[in-house]
Amino acid sequence: MRFFQHFGEYLLFLKAVFTKPEKGKIFVKQIFTESNNIGVGSFAIISLISTFIGAVSTIQIGYQLVSGILPDYLIGRIVRDSNILEFAPTVTALVLAGKVGSNIASEIGTMKVTEQVDALEIMGINAANYTSLAKIVSGVITIPMLVLYAMMLSLIGGAISGWASGIISVESFVKGLRTDFMGYNVVFAMTKAYTFSFLITSVSAFQGFRTEGGALEVGESSTKAVVYSCMSIIFFDYIISQLMLFK
Amino acid sequence: MIVIENVNKTFGTKHVLKDISANLYKGKCNFIIGASGGGKSVLMKCMVGLVTPETGSITFDGRDFLKLNYKEKINVRKDIGMLFQNTALFDSLNVEENVAFPLRMFTDFTEEQIMDRVNFCLGRVNLVNLNKLFPSNISGGQKKRVGIARAIALNPKYLFCDEPNSGLDPLTSRVIDELIKDITKEYNITTVINTHDMKSLFVMGENIVFIHQGAKWWEGEKAGIRSSGNKELLAFMEASEF
Ligand SMILES: Nc1ncnc2c1ncn2[C@@H]1O[C@H](COP(=O)(O)OP(=O)(O)OP(=O)(O)O)[C@@H](O)[C@H]1O
Ligand SMILES: [Mg+2]
């Protein structure tokens, strides 16, 4: 029961968020600030994580395919598919749920408990729209870009670790990358990326916005934002995979 | 003038406002006083539309707020300025941007006109040379002044102050009081002040509404307090050594 009540509140929140901003100029300015916070601010951590996941996946897949019967370029192919289909979009989203999600929830939560949200309402501004729309839009613009970037870096990381550990030569790895490449997989991954970025930003903004109390509750909201974002990411990962990979 | 009629508000089973009626006059400092937990803040929140009472009406110069549609409510809200107890300044914006915020949102002023108005408002509250500082880097009294400057930026017809001098030293309190009083007179604003501070009541109170355990016990001019014969009100006054 509680779940349905929260879900209903979430939908009402989204209804309030997706209205026309009071002033277009201010909104555009917010988009730039938030895109910078979310996108540029997450660049370093995503670079690091995706490179290493690519590197680790090459080593582990190499380890599992040591039979000698299969040609080694298959390693490149499997690394490519697992990184594009799963690791790059999902791990990036989970990491950003932690970084961006908690940030959004605590920022909006703090505005709520220090009455800044009330101040907006009294001025006659739709506070849900003002505090959250730019964050959600910026997330949906920048997070998929980060996912694309993560895909690329993970393949480079994979090539490097394959070469450095002597598992596979760069030529074979690249040959593997180019074997039976399906553009559809990228479409699938980007569908996930857009869905996840919307989930992270909107769920976290909602958690921030329903904060009541003080500093303690802001902390709780930010934890909840991360937990619920992660749960919804995993759940939609399953749904989208089912819908798009086995039609 | 704001007219409150038969306002009732309950939270769960708790009857917080009990059939409150009161008149708040234009060009005057209207005080709402009473013991802690009596419902002063809730009453103020009802007036500015943050809390919706179950019954009753709140009328702003003939505009019955609770009966208005969304657009009309926004128009009333543009006439409202509010100084929050903890100031509620936007902490991602500096002093100047905080005061400019309502101007940027609701006017088509050029950047130059906005800055003129901002500097005028900041000058009015005697704050100069702090324009670029952020709220976290200024003192409590300075924050209150920025809060007042932001509240008057759009020339409000109604000014609400929730405990304007809580947490301030007596000297700064008087300065803030004087400021609110001067602004009220200068622009003929309907000012509503919510306070525990009896000193400011005696300095600037004109019309007084005494709230006790959620009900209105007394309403009238400052001079009438002593002769009111209202036991709770007199006890309340005595406790604050007047
Ligand atoms: N959102 C709410 N939910 C439930 N009860 C509330 C809520 N807001 C206020 N109350 C209750 O209403 C009563 C009046 O509170 P209010 O804040 O108006 O008191 P006050 O007169 O402003 O006191 P103080 O002088 O200490 O600020 C209190 O008992 C409080 O617990
Ligand atoms: Mg109060």
The residue among B41, B45, B46, B50 with the most chain A CBs within 10 A of its CB, best to mutate, is B50
What's the mean per-residue pLDDT of chain A?
95
Q: Does residue B161 form part of some domain? A: yes
Has residue B223 got a pLDDT over 90?
no
For residue A218, the distance in angstroms to the closest alpha carbon of chain B comes to 16
Q: How confident is the model at residue B232 (pLDDT cuts 50, 70, 90)?
A: confident
Q: Give, using CA atoms, the residue closest to atom 8 of ligand 1.
A: B42
- pLDDT the model gives residue A149: 97
Write a three-state SS string for A98-147: HHHHHHHHHHHHHHHHCCHHHHHHHHCCCHHHHHHHHHHHHHHHHHHHHH
**B28 vs B159: CA distance, rounded Å:** 11
CB within 8 A of B78, min separation 6: which ones?
A123, A124, B106, B154
Helices B111-124 and B95-106 cross at an angle (nearest 10°) of 130
* pTM, to two decimals: 0.91
**Which amino acids bring their CB within 6 angstroms of ligand 1?**
B 11, 14, 16, 34, 36-42, 196
The C-alpha atoms of residue B141 and residue B86 are separated, in whole angstroms, by 11
- B21 contacts B58 by C-beta, under 8 angstroms: no
Residues of chain B with C-beta less than 8 angstroms from the C-beta of A116: 88-91
- Please indicate, yes or no, if residue B96 is contained in any of the structural domains: no
C-alpha–C-alpha distance, residues B161 and B177, integer Å: 10
Contact list, B84 vs chain A (CB under 8 Å): 115, 118-119
B111-165: pLDDT as tens digits: 999 999 999 999 988 888 899 999 999 998 899 999 999 999 999 999 999 999 8
> Which H or E run includes B172?
helix B170-187
Distant-in-sequence, close-in-space partners of A236: CB < 8 Å, separation ≥ 6: A192, A195, A196, A199
Read off the pLDDT of residues B157-205 as tens digits, 9 standing for 90 and up. Answer: 999 999 998 878 888 888 889 889 999 999 999 999 998 888 888 888 8
Q: Is the pLDDT of residue B222 over 60?
A: yes
pLDDT of res. B70: 86
**Residue to test with chain B: of A20, A25, A115, A131, most B Cβ within 10 A:** A115
Q: Which is more confident, B224 or A204?
A: A204
pLDDT attached to residue B100 = 96
pLDDT tens-digit profile of B65-106? 999 998 898 889 989 999 998 899 999 999 999 999 999 999
Partner residue opposite A119 with nearest CB, options B75, B78, B84: B84
The tens digit of pLDDT for each residue in A142-196 reads: 999 999 999 999 999 999 999 999 999 999 999 999 999 999 999 999 999 999 9
C-alpha distance from B225 to closest chain A C-alpha (Å): 33
The beta strands (E) that lie in chain B are given as 2-11, 14-24, 29-33, 55-60, 63-64, 80-83, 158-162, 190-195, 207-212, 215-221
| Residue B40 falls inside a structural domain | yes
DSSP chain A: -HHHHHHHHHHHHHHHHSS--S-HHHHHHHHHHHHHHHTGGGHHHHHHHHHHHHHHHHHHHHHHTTTSSS-THHHHHHHHHHIIIIIIIIIHHHHHIIIIIHHHHHHHHHHHHTTHHHHHHHHT--HHHHHHHHHHHHHHHHHHHHHHHHHHHHHHHHHHHHHHTTSS-HHHHHHHHHTT--HHHHHHHHHHHHHHHHHHHHHHHHHHHT--SSHHHHHHHHHHHHHHHHHHHHHHHHHHHHHHH--
Q: Does B80 touch chain A (CB under 8 A)?
A: yes
Confidence label for B241 from pLDDT (cuts 50, 70 and 90)? low
> Per mean pLDDT, which range of A81-90, A103-112, A199-208, B229-238 is the poorest?
B229-238
**In-domain check, residue B178:** yes
The mean pLDDT of B6-16, rounded to a whole number, is 93
Task: Give the one of B50, B90, B105 whose C-beta lies nearest to A22's C-beta.
Answer: B105
pLDDT in tens, B20-62: 999 999 999 999 998 888 899 999 999 999 999 999 999 999 9
Structural domain for B165, as ranges: 2-79+156-240
B121 in a domain, yes or no? no
> Does residue B44 form part of some domain?
yes
Place of tokens 């509680």: A2
Q: Over 90: is that where the pLDDT of B231 sits?
A: no
Contact A123 B84 (CB under 8 A): no
How far does the centroid of ligand 1 lie from the alpha carbon of residue B214, in Å? 9
In a domain, B26, yes or no: yes
Supply the pLDDT for residue A111: 97
Q: Tally the domains of chain B.
A: 1
Q: Does the beta carbon of B73 lie under 8 angstroms from any beta carbon of chain A?
A: yes
Q: Enumerate residues 6+ apart whose C-beta is below 8 A from A241.
A: none
Q: What is the pLDDT of residue A32?
A: 97
Relative to the alpha carbon of B45, which ligand is closest? Answer: 1
Per-residue pLDDT, A34 = 96
The pLDDT of residue A72 is: 87
ipTM associated with this complex? 0.90
CA of B40 to the centre of ligand 2 (A): 6
Mutate to test the interface with B, among A19, A116, A117, A130 (most CBs of B within 10 A): A116
Note whether B186 and B124 are within 8 A (CB).
no
What CATH number is given to the structural domain containing B202? 3.40.50.300
Q: How remote is the C-alpha of A232 from its chain's centroid?
A: 11
Domain membership flag for residue B216: yes
Beta bridge partners of B236: none
